Structures are given as C-alpha cells and as structure tokens.
Amino acid sequence: MSKYLKFLDLGNQPLANNYLRKDQLIKKEKKYRLKVGINNESKLVSIEKPLSSKIMFNQNYPYRSSMSKTMIKSFKNLSDFIKKKFHPKKILEIGSNDGSFLKNFSKKKSIGIEPCSNVEQITKSKGYNTYSEYWNKNTAKKILKKNGKIDLIYSANTISHIQNLDEVFKSINIILKDNGIIILEDPSLLECLKRNTYDQFYNEHIYVFSLIAIENILKKHNLEVFHIQNLKIHGGSNRYFIKKKNNKIKIDLSVKLNRDKEIRYGLNNLKTYRSFAKRVQKSKKLLKKLFMKIKNKKKIIVGYGVTAKSTTVLNYCKIGKKYISYFVDTTLDKQNKYTPGTRIPIFEYKGLDNKKIDYIFLGAWNFKDEIFKKEKNFIKNGGKVIIHTPVPKII
Ligand code: TMP
C-alpha cells in the first residue's frame, strides 16, 4: 500500500505570494503548516496539505514571467527549437501567464490557458487566444470543441502547482494528437536537494518533481519521456519531452542518464530526504547567525527580488524587519506592499545606492547571474550579497 512519509517541517507559513497592502496589516494572516513528504511507491515528493487552487490562483496573482530577462531568453530559445524540430500547427500553453512564451508564436497557432484573469488579460490584450480557466477535463473538452486537436503542449512551472496530476494528464490526452508532443518544465528535485533550496517548497509548489516520479505518473496515462534537458532556470530545472507510448520517436540516452543520476544520488531512498532535512535545519541556524552578525555591526540590509521562495526562507528562519529594512522588486503588483508573514515593506527597484545599502539579500537567488551582471557597480563599490544556497554566505 502506498504511504506518505513526512521528512521536513518548514513551520507555519503564510500564502507565499500574498503580498499585503497597508490596510491589510491590521488583520492577522491565515497561516498553514508547511510539511514535505514522499510517497513511498511513486516517489513523488509533495507538500502535505495543498490549498485550494482558487485561493492561490485568482485575479490578484502577482507573478509575471516577463520580469526576468533569463526567462524571456529561455522562452525564445525553446520556441526556436520547437519550430525547427516539431513544426507544430497548433500549440497550447498551460499556465501562459503574461504571454512571454506564446509571443514567440503566431497568434493563429497559439492558445493560452491561464486561470489568473489579471495576467490572462495581458496576453489576450495582445491579440492571443486565451482562456481564463484551470487545466482540467472540462477545459480540455471546451478547447477541443473550438480549436480541434493540438500538436504541442507546453507548460513551465505550472504542473507542479496542480494537485490532481491524473486529471492533468487525462485532460492532456483528450486534446493531444497521437503524434503530439508535451514539453514540461519544472524545478528539479535532484538540484533542490543538492543545493539545499528548501524554498522550492511553498503552498503553490505542491510538487517538486524527479524524473523517477514523473515516469511513475506518466505510465498510468500511456505517456513517456523521450528526452530531457537540464536547465539552469530557477536554480536547476528539468525540461521533459513527452510522447504517447505508441508514437515511434526514439527515447534518447538523456533519459537513462538522468534516471541513473537520480538513483545514484538516492532519490529512491528515504534516508536521502532525512539527511536533506538535517541540512535544512542547519542552514536555518547559519542564516540567522549571519544576519545577526551583520546587524550587530549596524549595517543596512535590503532584500533584492521578493519571491514566493523568499517567503518560505524568511518565515522559516524568522527573519523580519529587524534584519531586512525593505525589499526592492521590479514587479508593479508587489511594490508598495508588504512581504507575507514577515511584513517587510517592498518598494520599486530604482537601482542600488552604496551610500544607503551595505548588503543585499538575494530573494531572487534563482536569477543570481542576471542580478550580478546588473549590479556589478554596487558590488565593485563594496556592496555585499547574502545568499542562502547552497549554504548561507556572503559573496
Ligand atoms: P521568481 O523567483 O518567483 O521568478 O520571482 C523573481 C522576482 O524577482 C520577481 O518579482 C521579479 C524580481 N526581480 C527583480 O526585482 N529584479 C531582477 O533583476 C530580477 C531578475 C527579478
């Protein structure tokens, strides 16, 4: 019988993307207990108690994939690859956000599904065919009726947000052509464990996938992975290329290599997760110590890029306004609000002034390279950077 085995407790957490307006500060926020575990049969790693999609993904969703040059470039490169390799006549994106991926394809060919109507409207306003719906069988049937079958389905950082994975793939099977391709992209569990990025877990990230778990889910739906790309995106992601079993495309070596790598690291073994949990507890202590040491010297620390991931770190490590004076972020919908749980003010990013800021804490550590390039003058002039992965340190 399959069992869910808990291995990590990240404490009481607020909704990770629920940035608070000033008038909301008088109210107590709803918190939930963030625990992580693994299914002993499917090896699927998930948070213990997922919240309802409607609470998390609605017309107030603040995330915009267009906020990072890294993402824009990655979407453009993948789109070029898709056009060259698969020549899709019709392409569907599940979780199309503000259209950063679809904009690389012609409007006639593309369909976007995005339940958060505020971001869905951005893509629609550019002339794209979008639906403000959750991905399920009803949505698949509705789209099938209006648009016919689909050649290629893409979904980045979305499937890990949907609790019912069987419904996800049943819905995909309703609409995908027999020779159609699915491309899924999500943070890699192996990289998460290796880099100690426990902040990949928050209420929206119900799952962090391994290839092992993905294969166990897919086989119930007559689907299989035929190619994998390991990406640097979001601190290490996997891009899974998936086909129907009766499609004759060859399964290439990348699949076996990735599977072997995961098995060698011990992703099949509960012991691996228990030692990860110990490293996470140690990381919490070290990060707090680092902040205390800096603050004792009366230095000013500013958060850089407020992310759902940083909500997990700050609330788990209990790092609040005492340590971080404020956050800066380029996303309009996060500005002039407060971080969930820790209630640190968030301001518009207007560059970093060495006279006013001694340290930045990288909330958006997943865009470290991009940020280091952008802030080379701040660093050259003595500005320091705090990062919590793979171990808390000052760069
Ligand atoms: P994410 O990790 O959930 O993708 O969020 C990244 C956040 O960081 C997003 O709110 C935009 C912000 N950001 C900046 O403020 N400046 C930057 O240079 C980058 C790359 C991201």
For the CA atoms of 24, 25, 28, 31, the dihedral, rounded to the nearest 10 degrees, stands at: 80
CA–centroid distance, 4 to ligand 1, in Å, is: 33
Cβ of 372 less than 6 Å from ligand 1: no
User: Could you tell me if 204 and 221 are in contact, meaning their C-beta atoms sit under 8 angstroms apart?
Assistant: no
The gap from C-alpha 15 to its chain's centroid, in whole angstroms, comes to 14
CA–centroid distance, 37 to ligand 1, in Å, is: 28
pLDDT (tens digit, 0 to 9) for every residue of the chain, 395 residues total?
A: 899 999 999 999 999 999 999 999 999 999 999 999 999 999 999 999 998 888 888 898 888 888 888 899 999 999 999 999 999 999 999 999 999 999 999 999 999 999 999 999 999 999 999 999 999 999 999 999 999 999 999 999 999 999 999 999 999 999 999 999 999 999 999 999 999 999 999 999 999 999 999 999 999 999 999 999 999 999 999 999 999 999 999 999 999 999 999 999 999 999 999 999 999 999 999 999 999 999 999 999 999 999 999 999 999 999 999 999 999 999 998 999 999 999 999 999 999 999 999 999 999 999 999 999 999 999 999 999 999 999 999 99
Please give the model's pTM, rounded to 2 decimal places: 0.94
Residues 246, 179: Cα–Cα separation, whole Å: 8
Supply 322's token pair.
């005492």
CA–centroid distance, 305 to ligand 1, in Å, is: 5
Predicted pLDDT at 179: 97
Angle at 231 between CA 228 and CA 236, to 5 degrees: 115
Cβ of 62 less than 6 Å from ligand 1: no
Cβ of 16 less than 6 Å from ligand 1: no
Cβ of 241 less than 6 Å from ligand 1: no
Predicted pLDDT at 69: 87
The ligand 1 atom nearest the CA atom of 329: 15
CA–centroid distance, 307 to ligand 1, in Å, is: 7
Cβ of 329 less than 6 Å from ligand 1: yes
